[in-house]
Amino acid sequence: MIIQIPLAWLQLTREKTRLLVAIAGIAFAVILIFVQLGFKNALYDSATAPHRNLRADLVMINPQSEVLYTVQSFPRERLYQAQRIEGVDSVSFLYVSLGDWKNPQTPRTRSILILAFEPAKPAFKFPGVNQNLDRLKQTDVVIFDQLSRPEFGPIAEDFEKNKTVETEVNGTRVKVGGLFSMGTSFSADGNMITSDSTFLHIFKNRTQGQIDVGLIILKPGADRQKVIKDLSANLLNDVRVLTLDDFAKLEKDYWENSTALGFIFGLGATMGFIVGAVIVYQIIYTDVTDHLSEYATLKAMGYRHRYLLGIVCQESLFLAVLGYIPGFIISQLMYHLIRVETHLPALMTLNLAIFVLILAFLMCSIAGVIAMRKLRYADPADIF
**How do the domains of the chain map onto residue ranges?**
7-46+260-382, 63-238
| Residue 57 per-residue DSSP state | S
Q: Which residues is 206 bridged to in the sheet?
A: none
The confidence score (pLDDT) of residue 127 equals 86
What pTM did the predictor assign?
0.83
The confidence score (pLDDT) of residue 3 equals 43
How many CB atoms are located within 10 Å of the residue 348 CB? 16
The confidence score (pLDDT) of residue 276 equals 84
Compute, in degrees rounded to 10, the torsion defined by CA atoms 8, 11, 14, 15.
Answer: -110
The confidence score (pLDDT) of residue 133 equals 94
The confidence score (pLDDT) of residue 7 equals 67
Q: For residues 104 and 60, what is the distance between their CA atoms, to the nearest angstrom? A: 36
The confidence score (pLDDT) of residue 298 equals 66
Q: For residues 94 and 97, what is the distance between their CA atoms, to the nearest angstrom? A: 10
Q: For residues 296 and 377, what is the distance between their CA atoms, to the nearest angstrom? A: 8
Helix or strand holding residue 217 (H, E): strand 213-218
Q: pLDDT for 192-249, tens place per residue?
A: 999 999 999 999 999 999 999 999 999 999 999 999 999 999 988 899 999 999 999 9
Positions in the chain whose pLDDT score sits under 50: 1-3, 383
The confidence score (pLDDT) of residue 377 equals 56
The confidence score (pLDDT) of residue 366 equals 82
List CB contacts of 317: < 8 A, sequence separation 6 or more: 361, 364, 365
Query: Do residues 252 and 50 make contact, with C-beta atoms less than 8 angstroms apart?
Result: no
Angle of CA points 39, 50, 180, to nearest 5°: 95
Helix (H, G, I), strand (E, B) or coil at 89: strand
